[in-house]
Chain A
Amino acid sequence: MSLETASFVLKRVPVDSVGIQERCNFFTQRSIKKSSKLDALYASIQLMDLTTLEGSDTPERVKQLCNKARYPMTPALSEQLSRMESFRPIPSVAAVCVYPEMVSVAVKALQGTKIQIASVATGFPSGQTPLKTRLEEVTFAVEAGATEIDMVIQRGAFLSGDYQRVYDEIAAVKEVCGLAHLKVILETGELGTLEKVRFASDLAMEAGADFIKTSTGKIPSAASLPVTLVMFQAIADFYTRTGRKIGMKPAGGIRTAKQSIHYLVMLQETLGPEWIRPELFRFGASALLNDVLKQIAKQLTGHYFYDKAFSLD
């Protein structure tokens, strides 16, 4: 498989950053009220990859996280809210996202649920380890029960212009993923320009990504509306060209319900409502969940609950 022969597909697509920013400002001006807002908040939970990726992660910490993924709201508060007219039971999140070592813990903790188990792999977050060990890591995570693999691309190779290597590595990871879904993290904060984000998106999708993902969450410049819009447009063009729907995961920096609504509005008005489902869109987040719950409680009751009403894990 050679990239050169496919250059008609992988031509560089120009991106105008001023135009992108302007379009994003438009999405943040949408005024989402009443039941649309409640729908968006519920959807934000159902589309969430609840994440813990710390050096200090322990089995107990991951178990706690899995419990939160399963039952985001405390039973006491759920009970109280269930008396409200427009209440619907709080759904589980889409997936938990952990390190490979923690996959088996999560598998056990989430038995009998439909919550997916995502594992970062491939020398996360830098990707600067030999391909052989990266592939072994993926195999390890899949064998431990991960249903989704969040890989990082080798940004060193990408920035030095060795696109063939990036392509081949993604394809190789896809190969060992087997039936697990592959999310390809571009780490857009390290790519420098929106045109590079676009090119990396095209490259990843051609190489076999099921999802493309903005960031590791390990550097300050994480998901943003402009970066996500560029990736949406890449996904839309790929769909037109191939008929395949690729998923999108903005990750890192999405902390408030308001932000998540901006993303959903943008998704709805670009890729369309058919993309607003967990197979095709995820938020990679940890702090977001409690803010969404807080806003749901506010929508249902008309007043804010204090922070202690929402458990940390």
Chain B
Amino acid sequence: MLDIHSTAERNKSPAKKASYPAQGLFQANYDPSIESDKVVKIRATYELFIDGKWTPAEGGKTFLTLNPATGKPLAQIAEASSKDVDRAVQAAKRAYEKSWRSTSGRDRGRILFRIARILQERAREFAVLETLDNGKPIRESREIDIPLAAAHFFYYAGWADKLEYAVPGQRFQSLGVAGQIIPWNFPLLMAAWKIAPALATGNTVVLKPAETTPLTALLLAEVLQEAGLPDGVVNIITGASQTGAALVAHPDVSKIAFTGSTEIGKSIARQVAGTSKKLTLELGGKSAHLIFEDAAIDQAVEGIVQGIYFNQGHVCCAGSRLLVEESILETILSKLKRRIRTLRVGNPMDKNTDLGAINSSEQLQKIQTLVALGKEEGGDFYEPESTPLPTEGYFHRPCFFSSVPASSTLSRVEIFGPVLTISTFRTPEEAVQKANDTPYGLAAGIWSDKGGKIQKVARGLKAGVIWANTYNKFDPCSPFGGYFESGWGREGGRHGLLPYLEVQS
């Protein structure tokens, strides 16, 4: 019999033992490696981008956008009133009637390709600006946000002159003015998700970025001009919820595309009901992440980390509800704890930062309140207490609750922060049942070494995106969207064209 103890017995120290240092030879903490903010010039004030010109808001109303890593203001931003919204919609309508609806697909594609290339050329500038305004680690904005935004423009540029293949055998028409409202978690990427398919299909746009992260969308306005996009085809107006509401209510808007919270999504749906507006909604989620005992465990742990702590958990499809096969719970918990302790929380401009700043003090407060509630509800809480947090700005440690009842608030609501809930299942059937036990249905992840099991489980899941042995992977070719309270419609891929077209058979 193979006896571990006798093996250990054999492994006595060698004869000639050198006196090595007692502790490691390499610094436990890396010296800061800060990305320079000199590559981007942030103006003191930003106006509204309407009809190809920068114009102040009516009455000169403004608000501040902050750097969440320091809490200090970055710039003053014009706040669009309903009159400004009207000006923007009228400009978009004129551009649509006058030129854009009759611009050939090839010419639209040419401009979209140019936008994509300019984004690539100015990637560093955009990455730095995104990190400053949003708080996400520079590594992520550099490696994920900006390249993916460019990829979306490239992808839809390709479709612009091939739309007849998107709806084979049918005729189609563009809609007119699309009102687009985007969130603060992936500011430029969400702008790309919205603008690229709208322009490819021949619509014009009024885009409202989130009030806490308007800067990259405003910089994008420069790129659009540089690419030769005619005035008025894309208008960018900044403001908070009233600005968005005015856009949704505007009678000349033919389509609303909204990404954000389920609560606001529902109210938009109510507002749009009974009008001629088309609507797509990409809303919240509480996505299940299923780990089977036959998975490659170390890679699964990495997937869990990427699933929930990527972008500080500010991801609508975050794998925030971990379901682990009971036989491997202890292994997963200990490996996850070990891994979380190595995550570096801090200055997002540091190239070695893994978790940056929470986007706003409101969001931080919301997360803290929910974590406090979770502790009251009785889940087992873990956070790496030794992980230092910066003294200024808005930061939260990566953390998780294990043994969480399915009925608890934390298992039900979208936290939108680096907080994971963990519970167990015993069989694949139970895994599917528990995964589907949510009002949401945006995404899910399955980890198993068995292809057949993955296919079977995936068929049972009610979610729009399912990842197998990976998580949080995005591709412009792949339609994205949710079941139930996670939204209406799909963005990305061929499917992402359809909400911007009327089809005639």
User: Which residues of A are at the interface with B, using a C-beta cutoff of 8 A?
Assistant: 1-3, 5-6, 9-10, 13-16, 18-20, 22-23, 29-37, 39-40, 42-43, 46-47, 94, 114-116, 147-148, 167, 174-175, 178-181, 206-208, 210, 233, 240-242, 244, 264, 268-269, 273-279
Shortest Cβ distance from residue B274 to the other chain A in the assembled complex, whole angstroms? 48
**Which of B7, B33, B139, B294 sits near A206, CB closer than 8 Å?**
B7
In whole angstroms, how far apart are the Cα atoms of A22 and B297 in the complex? 15
**Which of B1, B12, B31, B294 sits near A36, CB closer than 8 Å?**
B31
Which of B14-22, B187-195, B483-491 is near enough to bind chain A?
Answer: B14-22
Residue contacts A-B, CB under 8 angstroms, 30 given: A3-B2, A5-B1, A5-B2, A15-B299, A16-B296, A18-B470, A19-B298, A19-B299, A23-B299, A23-B302, A29-B351, A30-B352, A32-B31, A35-B27, A43-B25, A94-B18, A116-B16, A180-B15, A206-B7, A207-B7, A208-B7, A241-B4, A242-B4, A242-B8, A244-B8, A244-B11, A269-B342, A273-B23, A276-B25, A277-B23
Whether the Cβ atoms of B334 and A240 lie closer than 8 Å is yes
Shortest Cβ distance from residue A37 to the other chain B in the assembled complex, whole angstroms? 8
The interface residues of chain B lying within 8 Å CB-to-CB of A14 are: 294-297, 449
The interface residues of chain A lying within 8 Å CB-to-CB of B143 are: 29
- Is B436 located at the chain interface by the 8 A CB criterion? no
Shortest Cβ distance from residue A17 to the other chain B in the assembled complex, whole angstroms? 9
Binary A-proximity of B387-427 (CB < 8 A = 1, otherwise 0): 00000000000000000000000000000000000000000
In whole angstroms, how far apart are the Cα atoms of A178 and B352 in the complex? 44
Whether the Cβ atoms of A277 and B296 lie closer than 8 Å is no
Chain B binding surface, main DSSP class: loop
- Nearest residue in B to A113 (C-beta to C-beta)? B18
Whether the Cβ atoms of A16 and B1 lie closer than 8 Å is no
The interface residues of chain B lying within 8 Å CB-to-CB of A241 are: 4
Shortest Cβ distance from residue B284 to the other chain A in the assembled complex, whole angstroms? 27
Whether the Cβ atoms of B334 and A30 lie closer than 8 Å is no
Given contacts A10-B2, A39-B27, 7 further A-B contacts (CB under 8 A): A5-B1, A6-B1, A14-B296, A19-B296, A43-B26, A242-B4, A268-B26
In whole angstroms, how far apart are the Cα atoms of A53 and B331 in the complex? 41
- Nearest residue in B to A47 (C-beta to C-beta)? B25
In whole angstroms, how far apart are the Cα atoms of A14 and B470 in the complex? 15
Given A15-B296, A242-B8, A33 contacting B2 (CB threshold 8 A): no
In whole angstroms, how far apart are the Cα atoms of A241 and B32 in the complex? 36
The interface residues of chain B lying within 8 Å CB-to-CB of A148 are: 14
Whether the Cβ atoms of A2 and B2 lie closer than 8 Å is yes
Size of chain B's interface in residues, with CB distance under 8 A?
45
- Is B24 located at the chain interface by the 8 A CB criterion? yes
**Which of B3, B14, B20, B26 sits near A264, CB closer than 8 Å?**
B26
Whether the Cβ atoms of B4 and A9 lie closer than 8 Å is yes
Given A2-B2, A33-B31, A114-B18, A39 contacting B296 (CB threshold 8 A): no
- Is B98 located at the chain interface by the 8 A CB criterion? no
- Is B55 located at the chain interface by the 8 A CB criterion? no
In whole angstroms, how far apart are the Cα atoms of A2 and B449 in the complex? 28
Given A29-B139, A206-B2, A277 contacting B18 (CB threshold 8 A): no
- Is B28 located at the chain interface by the 8 A CB criterion? yes
In whole angstroms, how far apart are the Cα atoms of A181 and B15 in the complex? 9
Whether the Cβ atoms of A208 and B11 lie closer than 8 Å is yes
Whether the Cβ atoms of A147 and B296 lie closer than 8 Å is no
Whether the Cβ atoms of A34 and B31 lie closer than 8 Å is yes
- Is B10 located at the chain interface by the 8 A CB criterion? yes
The interface residues of chain A lying within 8 Å CB-to-CB of B505 are: none
Whether the Cβ atoms of B469 and A277 lie closer than 8 Å is no
Whether the Cβ atoms of B20 and A279 lie closer than 8 Å is yes
In whole angstroms, how far apart are the Cα atoms of A279 and B24 in the complex? 11
Whether the Cβ atoms of B296 and A36 lie closer than 8 Å is no
**Which of B8, B139, B469 sits near A18, CB closer than 8 Å?**
B469
Whether the Cβ atoms of B11 and A210 lie closer than 8 Å is yes
In whole angstroms, how far apart are the Cα atoms of A6 and B296 in the complex? 21
- Is B165 located at the chain interface by the 8 A CB criterion? no
Shortest Cβ distance from residue A261 to the other chain B in the assembled complex, whole angstroms? 9
In whole angstroms, how far apart are the Cα atoms of A309 and B11 in the complex? 42
Whether the Cβ atoms of A31 and B352 lie closer than 8 Å is yes
- Is B13 located at the chain interface by the 8 A CB criterion? yes
Whether the Cβ atoms of A1 and B2 lie closer than 8 Å is yes
Shortest Cβ distance from residue A169 to the other chain B in the assembled complex, whole angstroms? 14
